[in-house]
Amino acid sequence: MKTIVHIVGTGTIGEPLIGLFTDFRDRMGVDEVTFHKRTPLASDKSRLEHLMSRGALLATDSDRVEDFERLGHKVSMTHEEALARATVVIDCTPAGNQHKEMYQALDGPRGFLAQGSEFGFGKPYARGVNDEALIAGKDNFLQIVSCNTHNITTLIRTLCHEGSDEYSLEKGVFVCMRRANDITQEGGFIPAPSVGKHDDPRFGTHHARDAHSLFTTLDRDFDLFSSAVKLNTQYMHSIWFQLGFTRDITHEEILERLKANARVAVTDKKHANVVFSFGRDHGYYGRILSQTVVVLPTLQVRGRELYGFCFTPQDGNSLLSSVAGALWMIDPDWEGVRERLSPIRRWLYTEI
Ligand SMILES: NC(=O)c1ccc[n+]([C@@H]2O[C@H](COP(=O)([O-])OP(=O)(O)OC[C@H]3O[C@@H](n4cnc5c(N)ncnc54)[C@H](OP(=O)(O)O)[C@@H]3O)[C@@H](O)[C@H]2O)c1
Protein backbone atom coordinates (compact mmCIF):
# COMPACT_ATOMS: atom_id res chain seq x y z
CA MET A 1 0.00 0.00 0.00
CA LYS A 2 1.35 3.40 -0.99
CA THR A 3 1.35 6.25 1.51
CA ILE A 4 -0.40 9.10 -0.29
CA VAL A 5 -0.99 12.67 0.89
CA HIS A 6 -3.82 14.40 -0.96
CA ILE A 7 -4.10 18.18 -0.65
CA VAL A 8 -7.32 19.95 -1.58
CA GLY A 9 -6.83 23.58 -2.68
CA THR A 10 -3.83 25.34 -4.16
CA GLY A 11 -4.17 28.77 -2.53
CA THR A 12 -2.00 30.62 -0.03
CA ILE A 13 -1.82 27.60 2.27
CA GLY A 14 -2.34 24.72 -0.18
CA GLU A 15 0.44 25.58 -2.60
CA PRO A 16 3.40 25.65 -0.16
CA LEU A 17 2.02 22.54 1.54
CA ILE A 18 1.99 20.64 -1.77
CA GLY A 19 5.55 21.93 -2.26
CA LEU A 20 6.69 20.79 1.20
CA PHE A 21 5.34 17.26 0.86
CA THR A 22 6.60 16.98 -2.72
CA ASP A 23 10.12 18.19 -1.99
CA PHE A 24 10.58 16.13 1.18
CA ARG A 25 8.33 13.13 0.56
CA ASP A 26 11.17 10.60 0.59
CA ARG A 27 12.43 11.70 3.99
CA MET A 28 8.90 11.95 5.35
CA GLY A 29 7.97 8.41 4.32
CA VAL A 30 5.40 9.57 1.75
CA ASP A 31 5.23 7.77 -1.61
CA GLU A 32 2.99 10.10 -3.56
CA VAL A 33 1.55 13.62 -3.34
CA THR A 34 -1.68 14.39 -5.16
CA PHE A 35 -3.61 17.65 -5.15
CA HIS A 36 -7.02 18.92 -6.17
CA LYS A 37 -7.46 22.15 -8.11
CA ARG A 38 -11.04 23.26 -8.67
CA THR A 39 -10.89 26.08 -11.19
CA PRO A 40 -8.93 25.84 -14.46
CA LEU A 41 -7.27 29.24 -14.94
CA ALA A 42 -4.60 30.30 -17.40
CA SER A 43 -3.24 32.62 -14.71
CA ASP A 44 -2.57 29.63 -12.41
CA LYS A 45 -0.86 27.55 -15.10
CA SER A 46 2.77 28.36 -14.27
CA ARG A 47 2.55 27.48 -10.58
CA LEU A 48 0.65 24.23 -11.20
CA GLU A 49 3.20 23.18 -13.81
CA HIS A 50 6.03 23.92 -11.37
CA LEU A 51 4.43 21.75 -8.68
CA MET A 52 3.91 18.94 -11.17
CA SER A 53 7.45 19.16 -12.52
CA ARG A 54 8.60 18.34 -8.98
CA GLY A 55 6.38 15.26 -8.81
CA ALA A 56 2.96 16.32 -7.48
CA LEU A 57 0.01 14.79 -9.34
CA LEU A 58 -2.98 16.90 -10.40
CA ALA A 59 -6.52 15.73 -9.73
CA THR A 60 -9.67 17.63 -10.61
CA ASP A 61 -13.41 17.10 -10.81
CA SER A 62 -14.50 14.79 -13.63
CA ASP A 63 -16.37 17.57 -15.42
CA ARG A 64 -13.27 19.83 -15.39
CA VAL A 65 -10.69 17.37 -16.75
CA GLU A 66 -11.02 18.54 -20.35
CA ASP A 67 -10.77 22.22 -19.36
CA PHE A 68 -7.49 21.55 -17.53
CA GLU A 69 -6.16 19.48 -20.45
CA ARG A 70 -7.06 22.29 -22.86
CA LEU A 71 -4.79 24.54 -20.77
CA GLY A 72 -2.00 22.02 -21.37
CA HIS A 73 -2.02 20.32 -17.95
CA LYS A 74 -1.62 16.60 -17.40
CA VAL A 75 -4.53 15.48 -15.22
CA SER A 76 -3.48 12.30 -13.42
CA MET A 77 -6.84 11.35 -11.93
CA THR A 78 -10.26 12.63 -10.90
CA HIS A 79 -10.76 14.06 -7.44
CA GLU A 80 -12.93 11.05 -6.58
CA GLU A 81 -10.11 8.67 -7.47
CA ALA A 82 -7.58 10.75 -5.55
CA LEU A 83 -9.75 10.71 -2.42
CA ALA A 84 -10.24 6.94 -2.66
CA ARG A 85 -6.46 6.36 -2.95
CA ALA A 86 -5.36 8.85 -0.28
CA THR A 87 -3.89 7.86 3.09
CA VAL A 88 -4.53 11.32 4.47
CA VAL A 89 -6.45 14.30 3.05
CA ILE A 90 -5.48 17.90 3.91
CA ASP A 91 -8.24 20.34 3.00
CA CYS A 92 -6.79 23.80 2.40
CA THR A 93 -9.96 25.52 1.24
CA PRO A 94 -12.35 27.78 3.09
CA ALA A 95 -14.94 25.00 2.55
CA GLY A 96 -13.57 22.19 4.73
CA ASN A 97 -16.74 21.96 6.79
CA GLN A 98 -18.86 21.75 3.62
CA HIS A 99 -16.66 18.87 2.44
CA LYS A 100 -16.78 17.00 5.75
CA GLU A 101 -19.87 14.94 4.92
CA MET A 102 -18.24 13.73 1.70
CA TYR A 103 -15.07 12.84 3.65
CA GLN A 104 -17.05 10.94 6.28
CA ALA A 105 -18.47 8.71 3.55
CA LEU A 106 -14.97 7.57 2.48
CA ASP A 107 -13.41 4.48 3.99
CA GLY A 108 -9.93 4.69 2.42
CA PRO A 109 -8.16 7.61 4.13
CA ARG A 110 -6.94 7.29 7.72
CA GLY A 111 -7.61 10.93 8.47
CA PHE A 112 -8.63 14.40 7.34
CA LEU A 113 -7.34 17.84 8.25
CA ALA A 114 -8.88 21.25 7.58
CA GLN A 115 -7.63 24.76 8.25
CA GLY A 116 -8.23 27.74 10.52
CA SER A 117 -11.58 29.00 9.28
CA GLU A 118 -13.17 25.54 9.65
CA PHE A 119 -14.12 25.64 13.34
CA GLY A 120 -15.84 22.39 14.29
CA PHE A 121 -14.23 20.25 11.55
CA GLY A 122 -12.33 18.19 14.12
CA LYS A 123 -10.15 18.41 17.19
CA PRO A 124 -8.23 21.72 17.13
CA TYR A 125 -4.49 21.16 16.83
CA ALA A 126 -1.28 23.22 16.95
CA ARG A 127 2.09 21.47 16.87
CA GLY A 128 3.80 21.52 20.25
CA VAL A 129 0.78 22.92 22.08
CA ASN A 130 -1.61 19.97 22.36
CA ASP A 131 0.14 16.99 20.74
CA GLU A 132 -0.70 14.89 23.79
CA ALA A 133 -4.43 15.53 23.30
CA LEU A 134 -4.58 13.61 20.01
CA ILE A 135 -5.93 10.10 20.36
CA ALA A 136 -4.80 7.55 17.77
CA GLY A 137 -7.66 5.78 16.01
CA LYS A 138 -10.20 8.30 17.34
CA ASP A 139 -9.13 11.75 16.15
CA ASN A 140 -9.51 11.17 12.42
CA PHE A 141 -10.61 14.77 11.85
CA LEU A 142 -8.30 17.61 12.89
CA GLN A 143 -8.69 21.35 12.53
CA ILE A 144 -5.30 23.04 12.17
CA VAL A 145 -5.98 26.25 14.07
CA SER A 146 -5.48 29.66 12.48
CA CYS A 147 -2.14 31.46 12.42
CA ASN A 148 -3.06 33.86 15.24
CA THR A 149 -4.42 31.00 17.35
CA HIS A 150 -1.06 29.27 16.90
CA ASN A 151 0.65 32.41 18.14
CA ILE A 152 -1.59 32.92 21.19
CA THR A 153 -1.60 29.27 22.27
CA THR A 154 2.15 28.91 21.79
CA LEU A 155 2.77 31.96 24.01
CA ILE A 156 0.60 30.48 26.75
CA ARG A 157 2.11 27.01 26.50
CA THR A 158 5.66 28.37 26.48
CA LEU A 159 5.30 30.90 29.27
CA CYS A 160 2.63 29.46 31.57
CA HIS A 161 2.99 25.67 31.44
CA GLU A 162 4.43 24.45 34.74
CA GLY A 163 4.73 20.78 33.84
CA SER A 164 2.17 18.01 33.97
CA ASP A 165 -1.34 19.58 33.91
CA GLU A 166 -0.33 22.77 35.70
CA TYR A 167 -0.50 26.24 34.14
CA SER A 168 0.21 29.54 35.89
CA LEU A 169 -2.12 31.60 33.65
CA GLU A 170 -4.57 33.83 35.49
CA LYS A 171 -5.81 35.69 32.41
CA GLY A 172 -4.72 36.47 28.84
CA VAL A 173 -5.70 39.55 26.81
CA PHE A 174 -4.74 39.92 23.15
CA VAL A 175 -5.15 42.64 20.52
CA CYS A 176 -4.77 41.04 17.10
CA MET A 177 -3.62 43.59 14.55
CA ARG A 178 -4.26 41.82 11.29
CA ARG A 179 -2.86 42.54 7.85
CA ALA A 180 -5.59 43.46 5.35
CA ASN A 181 -4.75 40.65 2.91
CA ASP A 182 -1.95 38.32 1.87
CA ILE A 183 0.53 39.34 -0.82
CA THR A 184 -0.87 36.49 -2.93
CA GLN A 185 -4.38 37.92 -2.79
CA GLU A 186 -5.82 40.44 -5.21
CA GLY A 187 -8.83 41.67 -3.28
CA GLY A 188 -9.62 42.80 0.23
CA PHE A 189 -7.09 45.58 0.72
CA ILE A 190 -8.32 48.43 2.94
CA PRO A 191 -7.35 52.11 2.91
CA ALA A 192 -7.14 52.58 6.69
CA PRO A 193 -7.22 50.67 10.00
CA SER A 194 -10.59 49.03 10.49
CA VAL A 195 -11.63 47.87 13.97
CA GLY A 196 -13.64 44.72 14.57
CA LYS A 197 -16.56 44.44 16.92
CA HIS A 198 -16.62 42.13 19.92
CA ASP A 199 -19.15 39.57 18.81
CA ASP A 200 -18.43 36.93 21.44
CA PRO A 201 -19.75 37.86 24.90
CA ARG A 202 -17.09 35.83 26.71
CA PHE A 203 -14.05 35.95 24.45
CA GLY A 204 -14.48 39.19 22.48
CA THR A 205 -13.41 37.86 19.06
CA HIS A 206 -12.92 34.38 17.67
CA HIS A 207 -9.14 34.51 18.31
CA ALA A 208 -9.48 34.04 22.08
CA ARG A 209 -12.40 31.65 21.57
CA ASP A 210 -10.32 29.46 19.26
CA ALA A 211 -7.35 29.52 21.65
CA HIS A 212 -9.67 28.60 24.54
CA SER A 213 -11.16 25.79 22.47
CA LEU A 214 -7.71 24.36 21.75
CA PHE A 215 -6.85 24.29 25.45
CA THR A 216 -10.12 22.50 26.28
CA THR A 217 -8.54 19.50 24.50
CA LEU A 218 -6.11 19.54 27.47
CA ASP A 219 -8.99 20.01 29.94
CA ARG A 220 -8.02 23.64 30.58
CA ASP A 221 -10.61 26.42 30.87
CA PHE A 222 -8.60 29.64 30.54
CA ASP A 223 -9.84 33.20 30.95
CA LEU A 224 -8.96 34.71 27.55
CA PHE A 225 -10.15 37.82 25.73
CA SER A 226 -9.24 39.24 22.33
CA SER A 227 -9.93 42.26 20.15
CA ALA A 228 -9.09 42.64 16.47
CA VAL A 229 -8.17 45.47 14.15
CA LYS A 230 -7.30 45.15 10.47
CA LEU A 231 -4.38 47.30 9.31
CA ASN A 232 -3.70 48.61 5.82
CA THR A 233 -0.65 46.39 5.34
CA GLN A 234 0.09 43.12 3.54
CA TYR A 235 2.87 42.19 5.96
CA MET A 236 2.58 40.12 9.10
CA HIS A 237 -0.18 40.08 11.68
CA SER A 238 1.01 41.61 14.98
CA ILE A 239 -0.35 40.84 18.44
CA TRP A 240 -0.21 42.93 21.61
CA PHE A 241 -0.58 40.71 24.66
CA GLN A 242 -1.00 40.91 28.39
CA LEU A 243 -0.56 37.70 30.37
CA GLY A 244 -1.51 37.62 34.04
CA PHE A 245 0.22 34.90 36.10
CA THR A 246 -0.83 33.14 39.30
CA ARG A 247 2.76 33.39 40.60
CA ASP A 248 5.67 35.82 40.63
CA ILE A 249 7.64 36.04 37.39
CA THR A 250 10.86 37.71 36.32
CA HIS A 251 12.02 39.13 33.01
CA GLU A 252 14.96 36.70 33.00
CA GLU A 253 12.71 33.67 33.43
CA ILE A 254 10.46 34.84 30.58
CA LEU A 255 13.49 35.18 28.30
CA GLU A 256 14.79 31.76 29.29
CA ARG A 257 11.47 30.12 28.55
CA LEU A 258 11.10 31.81 25.17
CA LYS A 259 14.63 30.84 24.16
CA ALA A 260 14.13 27.23 25.28
CA ASN A 261 11.25 26.56 22.87
CA ALA A 262 12.47 25.57 19.42
CA ARG A 263 9.17 26.67 17.88
CA VAL A 264 9.43 30.22 19.26
CA ALA A 265 11.50 32.89 17.51
CA VAL A 266 12.67 36.01 19.29
CA THR A 267 13.80 39.18 17.59
CA ASP A 268 15.15 42.66 18.23
CA LYS A 269 13.50 43.83 15.01
CA LYS A 270 10.57 46.13 15.65
CA HIS A 271 9.24 46.42 12.09
CA ALA A 272 7.03 43.68 10.61
CA ASN A 273 8.37 44.26 7.10
CA VAL A 274 11.93 43.44 8.21
CA VAL A 275 10.81 40.20 9.86
CA PHE A 276 8.71 39.39 6.80
CA SER A 277 11.66 39.98 4.51
CA PHE A 278 13.79 37.68 6.68
CA GLY A 279 11.24 34.99 5.73
CA ARG A 280 11.51 35.95 2.07
CA ASP A 281 15.30 35.62 2.21
CA HIS A 282 15.68 32.63 4.54
CA GLY A 283 12.32 30.82 4.50
CA TYR A 284 10.75 27.97 2.57
CA TYR A 285 8.46 29.50 -0.07
CA GLY A 286 9.30 32.75 1.76
CA ARG A 287 7.89 31.41 5.03
CA ILE A 288 9.46 30.78 8.39
CA LEU A 289 7.73 27.89 10.17
CA SER A 290 8.10 29.21 13.73
CA GLN A 291 4.84 29.60 15.68
CA THR A 292 5.46 33.16 16.88
CA VAL A 293 8.10 35.90 16.68
CA VAL A 294 8.33 37.67 20.04
CA VAL A 295 9.79 41.19 19.96
CA LEU A 296 12.25 41.24 22.87
CA PRO A 297 12.54 45.03 23.41
CA THR A 298 8.75 45.21 23.96
CA LEU A 299 8.60 42.73 26.84
CA GLN A 300 7.81 44.25 30.19
CA VAL A 301 7.11 42.53 33.50
CA ARG A 302 4.91 44.45 35.94
CA GLY A 303 4.27 42.47 39.12
CA ARG A 304 2.62 39.25 38.00
CA GLU A 305 1.82 40.62 34.56
CA LEU A 306 3.72 40.38 31.29
CA TYR A 307 3.19 42.84 28.42
CA GLY A 308 4.62 42.63 24.92
CA PHE A 309 4.24 42.43 21.17
CA CYS A 310 4.79 39.56 18.79
CA PHE A 311 4.43 38.95 15.06
CA THR A 312 2.53 36.01 13.57
CA PRO A 313 4.31 33.98 10.86
CA GLN A 314 0.96 33.79 9.10
CA ASP A 315 0.70 30.53 7.23
CA GLY A 316 4.13 29.17 8.25
CA ASN A 317 2.90 27.99 11.63
CA SER A 318 -0.19 26.36 10.06
CA LEU A 319 2.04 24.63 7.52
CA LEU A 320 4.17 23.08 10.26
CA SER A 321 1.10 21.81 12.14
CA SER A 322 -0.51 20.55 8.92
CA VAL A 323 2.59 18.48 8.13
CA ALA A 324 2.91 17.24 11.73
CA GLY A 325 -0.80 16.37 11.97
CA ALA A 326 -0.77 14.54 8.64
CA LEU A 327 2.37 12.56 9.54
CA TRP A 328 0.77 11.64 12.87
CA MET A 329 -2.31 10.34 11.05
CA ILE A 330 -0.09 8.25 8.79
CA ASP A 331 1.73 6.81 11.82
CA PRO A 332 0.69 8.06 15.27
CA ASP A 333 4.09 7.77 16.91
CA TRP A 334 5.28 11.24 18.00
CA GLU A 335 8.97 10.23 18.07
CA GLY A 336 8.62 9.07 14.47
CA VAL A 337 6.79 12.29 13.55
CA ARG A 338 9.66 14.29 15.06
CA GLU A 339 12.13 12.36 12.95
CA ARG A 340 10.08 12.74 9.76
CA LEU A 341 9.81 16.50 10.39
CA SER A 342 13.58 16.86 10.48
CA PRO A 343 13.98 18.00 6.83
CA ILE A 344 11.87 21.09 7.48
CA ARG A 345 13.24 21.93 10.93
CA ARG A 346 15.81 24.29 9.40
CA TRP A 347 13.01 26.83 8.81
CA LEU A 348 12.09 26.85 12.51
CA TYR A 349 14.11 29.88 13.53
CA THR A 350 14.68 30.69 17.18
CA GLU A 351 16.25 34.06 16.44
CA ILE A 352 15.39 36.55 13.69
N1 LIG B 1 -3.82 32.64 4.11
C2 LIG B 1 -3.32 32.41 5.30
O3 LIG B 1 -2.38 33.09 5.75
C4 LIG B 1 -3.84 31.30 6.14
C5 LIG B 1 -3.17 31.00 7.32
C6 LIG B 1 -3.62 29.96 8.11
C7 LIG B 1 -4.77 29.29 7.74
N8 LIG B 1 -5.43 29.62 6.60
C9 LIG B 1 -6.64 28.87 6.28
O10 LIG B 1 -6.44 28.09 5.10
C11 LIG B 1 -7.68 27.93 4.40
C12 LIG B 1 -7.46 28.37 2.97
O13 LIG B 1 -7.05 29.73 2.98
P14 LIG B 1 -6.16 30.33 1.80
O15 LIG B 1 -5.73 31.67 2.28
O16 LIG B 1 -5.13 29.35 1.37
O17 LIG B 1 -7.27 30.50 0.66
P18 LIG B 1 -7.06 30.91 -0.87
O19 LIG B 1 -5.70 31.42 -1.10
O20 LIG B 1 -8.24 31.75 -1.22
O21 LIG B 1 -7.21 29.50 -1.65
C22 LIG B 1 -8.35 28.75 -1.54
C23 LIG B 1 -8.20 27.48 -2.40
O24 LIG B 1 -9.33 26.68 -2.11
C25 LIG B 1 -9.96 26.33 -3.32
N26 LIG B 1 -11.39 26.28 -3.05
C27 LIG B 1 -12.16 27.26 -2.56
N28 LIG B 1 -13.42 26.82 -2.39
C29 LIG B 1 -13.42 25.53 -2.79
C30 LIG B 1 -14.42 24.54 -2.87
N31 LIG B 1 -15.67 24.78 -2.46
N32 LIG B 1 -14.07 23.32 -3.34
C33 LIG B 1 -12.81 23.06 -3.74
N34 LIG B 1 -11.82 23.97 -3.70
C35 LIG B 1 -12.14 25.19 -3.23
C36 LIG B 1 -9.57 27.35 -4.34
O37 LIG B 1 -9.57 26.71 -5.58
P38 LIG B 1 -9.68 27.42 -6.99
O39 LIG B 1 -8.86 28.69 -6.92
O40 LIG B 1 -9.12 26.44 -7.93
O41 LIG B 1 -11.13 27.68 -7.22
C42 LIG B 1 -8.15 27.72 -3.87
O43 LIG B 1 -7.21 26.82 -4.43
C44 LIG B 1 -8.71 28.77 5.17
O45 LIG B 1 -9.36 27.88 6.06
C46 LIG B 1 -7.88 29.73 5.97
O47 LIG B 1 -8.50 30.09 7.18
C48 LIG B 1 -4.99 30.60 5.78
Residue 254 φ/ψ, nearest 5 degrees: -60, -45
Q: Categorise residue 222: left if φ over 0, alpha if ψ from -120 to 50, beta otherwise.
A: beta
315 lines ligand 1 (CB under 6 A): yes
Same fold, 4-145+317-342 and 147-315: no
- Please state, in angstroms and rounded to a whole number, the distance separating the CA atoms of residues 7 and 10: 8
- pTM for the predicted model, two decimal places: 0.97
CATH architecture assigned to 4-145+317-342: 3-Layer(aba) Sandwich (3.40)
Mean pLDDT in residue range 113-117: 96
CA distance 222 to 215: 8
Cα torsion through 169, 268, 145, 209, rounded to 10: 40
C-alpha span between 123 and 214 (Å, rounded)? 8
User: Are the beta carbons of 344 and 16 closer than 8 angstroms?
Assistant: no
Q: Could you tell me what percent of the chain has a pLDDT over 70?
A: 100
Q: What is the CATH number of domain 147-315?
A: 3.30.360.10
Quick one: residue 70, left, alpha or beta (phi over 0 = left, psi -120 to 50 = alpha)?
Answer: alpha
Ligand 1 pocket test, pick from 6, 7, 8, 12 with the greatest ligand atom count within 8 Å of Cβ, gives 12
**175-214 pLDDT, tens per residue?**
999 999 988 888 999 999 999 999 999 999 999 999 999 9
What is the spatial distance between Cα 351 and Cα 63, in angstroms, rounded to a whole number?
A: 48
- Rounded CA-CA distance 138/152 in Å is 26
CA 324 / ligand 1 centre spacing (Å): 19
Amino acid at 18: I
Cβ atoms of residues 301 and 251 within 8 Å: yes
Cα(223) to ligand 1 centroid in Å equals 31
pLDDT in tens, 236-266: 999 999 999 999 999 999 999 999 999 999 9
**How many whole angstroms from 12 Cα to the centroid of ligand 1?**
7
Q: How far apart are the first and last CA of the chain?
A: 42
C-beta separation of 15 from 322 below 8 A? no
> pLDDT for 44-93, tens place per residue?
999 999 999 999 999 999 999 999 999 999 999 999 999 999 999 999 99
Domain ranges of the chain: 4-145+317-342, 147-315
- Ligand 1: atom nearest CA of 13 is 16
Distances (CA, A) of 85 to 19, 68, 88, 179: 20, 21, 9, 38
Please give the distance of CA 109 from its chain centroid, rounded to a whole number.
21
Q: Can you give the pLDDT at residue 309? A: 98
Question: 224-242: per-residue pLDDT in tens?
Answer: 999 999 999 999 999 999 9
Residues 327 and 28 sit within 8 Å (Cβ to Cβ) = yes
Q: Sort 257 into a burial class: Cβ within 10 Å, 0-12 / 13-18 / 19+.
A: middle
pLDDT tens-digit series, residues 343-352: 999 999 999 9
From ligand 1's centre to the CA of 174, what distance in Å?
Answer: 26
Rg of the chain (C-alpha set) = 20
Measured from the CB, is residue 244 less than 6 Å from ligand 1?
no
Q: What angle do CA 165, 168, 169 make, to 5 degrees?
A: 110
Q: What is the number of other CB atoms lying within 10 angstroms of the CB of residue 58?
A: 22
Task: State residue 185's pLDDT score.
Answer: 87
> Is residue 336 lining ligand 1, measured as CB closer than 6 Å?
no
Is the pLDDT reported for residue 314 higher than 90?
A: no
pLDDT for 306? 98
Amino acid present at 34: T
Per DSSP, what are the bridge partners of residue 240? Answer: 175, 309
The reported pLDDT for the residue numbered 76 is 98
Q: Which helix (H) or strand (E) holds 243?
A: strand 237-245
C-beta contacts of 96-99 below 8 A and 24+ residues apart: 96/121, 96/143, 97/121, 99/8
Average pLDDT value for the chain: 97
Assign 128 a pLDDT band (cuts: 50, 70, 90).
Answer: very high
Under 8 Å between Cβ of 15 and 47: yes
Q: How many CB atoms lie within 10 A of CB 97?
A: 16
